[in-house]
């Protein structure tokens, strides 16, 4: 591992033009090194194809989004109708709009798999801390982008999502109110809010694309982690990215496209809420307001704090835990200090990992449940466990756990000792 990036290439410019170009802007050499010849561990499983799936999803969202923006009107009087106009009148608009809105859900589904894969196989550990941090940053940007996109159709759920989420910033002491007015461009969510959200919703995907470039750059310095978490030791442990992983990734993309297409063609609204087919009304809040499914675990944490903590009131407390549940991910590389990367060789970590997954799913369920009775208590327990996993379980496991012996190399794990 750790070989400088330029050593992998077998590129020799064939024609005079290629040679001329190579001396001025070696873009072909760069592409060949990073998209074709890049040495990739030969044991990557299908969980690793989600990186490529996510790259494709970003492109799908940007392309469909640019087309939608050609027909959308960011004005409170016309936004709702313009989305209906896209669905009914614009050529192919029904499908383009469905791809974009379902695409947001599929994007998050893929990013959750990608994140949880990284957590199981210890992909955040040295020397990939910055790679991980950039990934969390992309996740945060995705959440901001998805939220602002959800506001644009200007239905009831759009409006109240905008109200609730901007109010989160209002909980910040002293600066809360000025920030709130700055975000909304007024005293309440209204036309200025819709305009700036549209502007930012168009901008942020390109910021995401830029951070994705850094994410891939940070990936290509140490190279991929792999399911056994053992470093690449020789060229026998790797295969070139193309055609081995371009094909495997493409196959993953095709499989991923099947449920995606099913939603788009047969159930484009099943992941949304009927209330969003009612135009925004600032005087009535829908009876059951829940965010999109991909925000549910964090939403459950936000509302689990309904008590004052010392001098911190319940509103600010909820916001601190909500923010903290994401910020803590940035620190994961330093909370789990076990030298063994892959969960496969960590007998205790493995169980706690799955407990964390179940707890996360429980939080998602509780985020959608009404805030009453036993749900309130369960949400508090699950919130406490979410943080305990990072602050208590991982640091303690790193100290007391005895990992199983690691294979000597990737080749040995794939082929058995005799061939290695």
Size of interface with another protein, in residues (CB under 8 A): 39
Single out the residue of 7, 6, 31 nearest to residue 18, CA to CA. Answer: 31
Q: How far is the CB of 362 from another protein (least distance, A)?
A: 18
Of 235 and 281, the one with the shorter C-beta distance to another protein is 281
Q: Which of 61, 101, 158, 163 binds another protein (CB under 8 A)?
A: 163
Q: What is the dihedral of CA 410, 411, 414, 418, to 10 degrees?
A: -130
Query: Does 192 contact another protein by CB under 8 A?
Result: yes
DSSP characters for 255-296?
A: HHHHHHHHHHHH-TTTTS-GGGGSB--TT---SS----GGGH
Query: Does 174 contact another protein by CB under 8 A?
Result: no
Query: Does 75 contact another protein by CB under 8 A?
Result: no
Of 41 and 318, the one with the shorter C-beta distance to another protein is 318
Cα(407)–Cα(411) distance, integer angstroms: 9
Query: Does 322 contact another protein by CB under 8 A?
Result: no
Query: Does 371 contact another protein by CB under 8 A?
Result: yes
Query: Does 288 contact another protein by CB under 8 A?
Result: yes
The residue to which tokens 């996360």 are assigned: 360
* String of contacts with another protein for each residue 243-282, x by CB under 8 A: ---------------------------------------x
Stretch that binds another protein, among 33-41, 157-165, 331-339, 355-363 (CB under 8 A): 157-165
Query: Does 370 contact another protein by CB under 8 A?
Result: yes
Q: Cα angle at 307 between 306 and 309, to 5 degrees?
A: 135
Contact 176, 211 (CB under 8 A): no
Stretch that binds another protein, among 110-118, 131-139, 215-223, 304-312 (CB under 8 A): 304-312
Query: Does 320 contact another protein by CB under 8 A?
Result: no
Of 299 and 352, the one with the shorter C-beta distance to another protein is 299
Query: Does 287 contact another protein by CB under 8 A?
Result: yes
Cα(35)–Cα(58) distance, integer angstroms: 18
Angle in degrees, 0-180, between the axes of helices 191-220 and 176-184, rounded to the nearest 10 = 100
Query: Does 49 contact another protein by CB under 8 A?
Result: no
Query: Does 283 contact another protein by CB under 8 A?
Result: yes
Omega of the bond leading into 95 within 30 degrees of 0 (cis): no
Single out the residue of 159, 140, 145, 5 nearest to residue 61, CA to CA. Answer: 145
Cα(295)–Cα(290) distance, integer angstroms: 9
Single out the residue of 66, 64, 74, 155 nearest to residue 101, CA to CA. Answer: 64
Stretch that binds another protein, among 117-125, 164-172, 201-209, 323-331 (CB under 8 A): 164-172
368-374: Cβ within 8 A, 24+ apart:
368/290, 368/293, 368/296, 370/288, 371/303
- Going from the C-alpha of 10 to that of each of 23, 217, 241, 365, the distances in angstroms are 16, 20, 13, 52
Stretch that binds another protein, among 104-112, 114-122, 257-265, 314-322 (CB under 8 A): 314-322
Interface with another protein by CB under 8 A: which residues? 160, 163-168, 170, 181-182, 185-188, 190, 192, 196, 282-289, 302-303, 305-306, 308, 313-316, 318, 370-372, 376
């Amino acid at each position: 591992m750790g070989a400088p990036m330029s050593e992998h290439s077998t590129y020799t410019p064939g024609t005079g033009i290629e040679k001329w170009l190579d001396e001025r802007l070696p873009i072909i050499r760069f592409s060949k090194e990073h998209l074709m010849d890049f040495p990739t561990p030969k044991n990557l499983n299908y969980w690793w194809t989600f990186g490529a799936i996510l790259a494709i999803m970003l492109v799908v969202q940007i392309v469909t989004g640019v087309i939608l923006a050609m027909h959308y009107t960011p004005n409170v009087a016309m936004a709702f109708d313009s989305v209906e106009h896209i669905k009914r009148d614009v050529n192919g608009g029904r499908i383009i709009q469905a791809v974009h809105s379902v695409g947001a859900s599929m994007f998050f589904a893929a990013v959750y798999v990608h994140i949880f894969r990284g957590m199981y196989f210890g992909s955040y550990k040295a020397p990939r801390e910055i790679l991980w941090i950039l990934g969390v940053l992309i996740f945060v940007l995705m959440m901001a982008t998805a939220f602002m996109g959800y506001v644009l159709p200007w239905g009831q759920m759009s409006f109240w999502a905008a109200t609730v989420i901007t109010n989160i910033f209002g909980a910040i002491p002293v600066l809360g109110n000025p920030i709130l007015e700055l975000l909304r461009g007024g005293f309440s969510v209204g036309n200025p809010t819709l305009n700036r959200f549209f502007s930012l919703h168009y901008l942020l995907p390109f910021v995401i694309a830029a951070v994705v470039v850094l994410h891939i750059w940070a990936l290509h310095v140490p190279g991929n982690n792999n399911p056994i978490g053992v470093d690449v030791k020789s060229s026998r442990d790797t295969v070139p990215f193309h055609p081995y992983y371009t094909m495997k990734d493409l196959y993953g993309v095709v499989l991923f496209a099947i449920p995606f297409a099913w939603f788009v063609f047969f159930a484009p609204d099943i992941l949304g809420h009927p209330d969003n087919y009612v135009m925004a009304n600032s005087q009535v809040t829908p009876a059951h307001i829940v965010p999109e499914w991909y925000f549910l675990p964090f939403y459950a944490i936000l509302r689990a704090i309904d008590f004052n903590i010392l001098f911190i009131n319940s509103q600010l407390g909820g916001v601190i835990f909500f923010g903290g549940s994401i910020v803590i991910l940035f620190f994961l590389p330093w909370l789990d200090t076990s030298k063994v990367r892959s969960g496969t060789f960590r007998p205790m970590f493995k169980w706690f990992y799955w407990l964390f997954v179940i707890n996360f799913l429980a939080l998602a369920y509780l985020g959608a449940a009404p805030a009453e009775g036993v749900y309130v208590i369960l949400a508090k327990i699950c919130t406490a466990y979410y943080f305990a996993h990072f602050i208590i379980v991982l640091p303690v496991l790193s100290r007391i756990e005895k990992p199983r012996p690691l294979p000597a190399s990737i080749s040995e794990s794939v082929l058995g000792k005799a061939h290695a």
